[in-house]
Amino acid sequence: MINFNTIKQRIPSPIKRPFSNAKSGIELYFQKGKKIVSLLGIDAKFNIKNRNDIRRLSESFEGPYALDIIEFLKKLDNHSMVVNIGSAQGFYVVFAGLTGHKVVAIEPDPTTFIDLDKNISLNQLNNLVESRELALGASNEQINLSTDGSEGKAPRIGNPEGFKGTIPVQMARFDSEFNSENLPKMLIVDIEGYEYEFLKGMGDLRPEDIFIEIHPILLEKIGSNKEEVMEIFKKYGYRLEKTYERGGELHCHFTFKKSI
């Protein structure tokens, strides 16, 4: 398991410290042009372009989301390879990389992908983190992604209502990008209602741990539902370890039940 005491990276003289939560070990700092998040003694840097970036980072790390990252980090061991599907700006990606793990970051939105790559470089993680501008689903084809760019709400597939427009992006199956030889131990999945289609694209591959956000309302808008998602996890041999609801979303941790 990770020894967090050996990777503490303190950054001197922050300009402002607007948030600190001693119970969870989370601190936020502002410096010119970036925001520093200290979590379990690990200092991660994130680019700030505008007020929307400040809002997004503050909401993410001052709420339950940060506790999800802590749980995920504590689950990692020295041999874990991580794939983050729907990486956005790279919150999970950066912390996994800073603890020395190989990470594959997958993000389909072109403008968000630029922000992701900037945060990877800002934390000097290019040797550990591979980024792929890609969506994952049940087929290998070009699809339309509904997006407001990096300034708006999270992009999604198959439901353009309320977005500025759609753009073509490449989609692939999980089992087209990975195989039994390079199978990650952990997946973090946040794909705004496309969960069922993604799971169908896993084929016979079974990562040990899957941390996933399930979006019941968005699932229904594209013809699926949370019951179907839960059923496919059960069919694939996964056990639900933990779940809680936040803002109408289900945050779940599944583990694969290996046969004896």
User: What amino acid is encoded at 238 in this protein?
Assistant: Y
pLDDT of residue 201: 97
* pLDDT category of residue 144 using cuts at 50, 70 and 90: very high
Give pTM, 2 decimals: 0.86
Report the half-sphere exposure of 170 (CA within 13 A, side-chain side): 8
* pLDDT category of residue 43 using cuts at 50, 70 and 90: confident
Asked if pLDDT for residue 63 goes beyond 60, the answer is yes
Asked if pLDDT for residue 77 goes beyond 90, the answer is no
Residue 9 included in any domain: no
pLDDT of residue 31: 59
pLDDT, greater one: 16 or 63: 63
pLDDT of residue 15: 35
Residue 46 included in any domain: no
Domain range for 129 = 68-256
User: What amino acid is encoded at 122 in this protein?
Assistant: L
Distance CA 226, CA 185 (A): 24
Residue 118 included in any domain: yes
Mean pLDDT of the chain: 84
pLDDT of residue 171: 97
Q: What element of type H or E holds 6?
A: none
Cβ contact 117:91 at 8 Å: no
Q: What element of type H or E holds 120?
A: helix 110-122
Residue 42 included in any domain: no
List CB contacts of 63: < 8 A, sequence separation 6 or more.
246
pLDDT of residue 208: 94
Residue 80 included in any domain: yes
Instruction: Name the domain count of the chain.
Output: 1
pLDDT of residue 165: 83
CATH number of the domain where residue 192 is located? 3.40.50.150
Distance CA 40, CA 33 (A): 23
pLDDT of residue 46: 87
Instruction: Give the tokens for residue 75.
Output: 């689950």
DSSP per-residue string spanning 47-99: E--SHHHHHHHHHHHSSHHHHHHHHHHHH--TT-EEEEES-TTTHHHHHHHHT
Asked if pLDDT for residue 28 goes beyond 80, the answer is no
CA-wise closest residue to 136 among 185, 198, 207, 195: 198
* pLDDT category of residue 52 using cuts at 50, 70 and 90: confident
Residue 17 included in any domain: no
For 150-198, the pLDDT digits (tens) are 667 787 887 777 778 888 999 999 999 999 999 999 999 999 999 999 9
Asked if pLDDT for residue 11 goes beyond 50, the answer is no
Residue 39 vs residues 22, 61, 201: alpha-carbon distances, Å? 10, 9, 33
Residue 228 included in any domain: yes
Instruction: Write the DSSP symbol of residue 155.
Output: P
Residue 55 included in any domain: no
Q: Which of 76-85, 196-205, 214-223 has the highest average model confidence (pLDDT)?
A: 196-205
